[in-house]
């Protein structure tokens, strides 16, 4: 059982999506995940959402995208995460 399948057992509102290159290929091209609590409390956050990226280096290359918002007590609140390939017209 994968890590994200185990997370779904604990958090039934957990959402994830994996896109691979081919059916039998175990490498993924895009990956998205969002935990349940941010989905429930999204309406309580300030109306500013920030998307940031950082480049992954080393053996596993790609781009990590994070989506965050600010809660009413001025704390950073992560909403969703995604790992994609480098920036292209297709992505």
How much is the pLDDT for 24?
66
Task: Please tell me which residue, 90 or 81, carries the higher pLDDT value.
Answer: 81
Residue 68, token pair as written in the block: 């965050």
Instruction: In whole angstroms, give the CA distance from residue 9 to residue 19.
Output: 22
Band (26; pLDDT cuts 50, 70, 90): low
How much is the pLDDT for 63?
87
Residues 87, 51 contacting (CB under 8 angstroms)? no
Instruction: In whole angstroms, give the CA distance from residue 26 to residue 16.
Output: 16
Owner of token pair 């990590």: 64
When pLDDT is averaged across residues 1-6 and rounded to a whole number, the result is 78
The predicted model scores a pTM of 0.66
Over residues 37-76, the pLDDT tens digits come to 777 777 778 877 888 888 888 877 888 889 888 888 888 8
**How many H-runs (helices) and E-runs (strands) does the chain carry?**
2, 5
3-state helix vs strand vs coil in the chain, percent to 5 = 20, 45, 40
Task: Please tell me which residue, 29 or 74, carries the higher pLDDT value.
Answer: 74
């Amino acid at each position: 059982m994968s890590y994200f399948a185990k997370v779904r057992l604990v958090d039934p509102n957990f959402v994830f999506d994996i896109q691979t290159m081919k059916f039998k290929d175990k490498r993924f091209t895009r990956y998205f995940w969002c935990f349940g609590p941010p989905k429930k409390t999204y309406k309580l956050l300030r109306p500013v959402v920030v998307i940031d990226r950082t480049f992954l280096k080393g053996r596993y290359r790609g781009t990590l995208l994070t989506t965050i918002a600010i809660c009413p007590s001025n704390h950073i609140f992560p909403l969703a995460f995604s790992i994609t390939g480098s920036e292209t017209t297709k992505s």
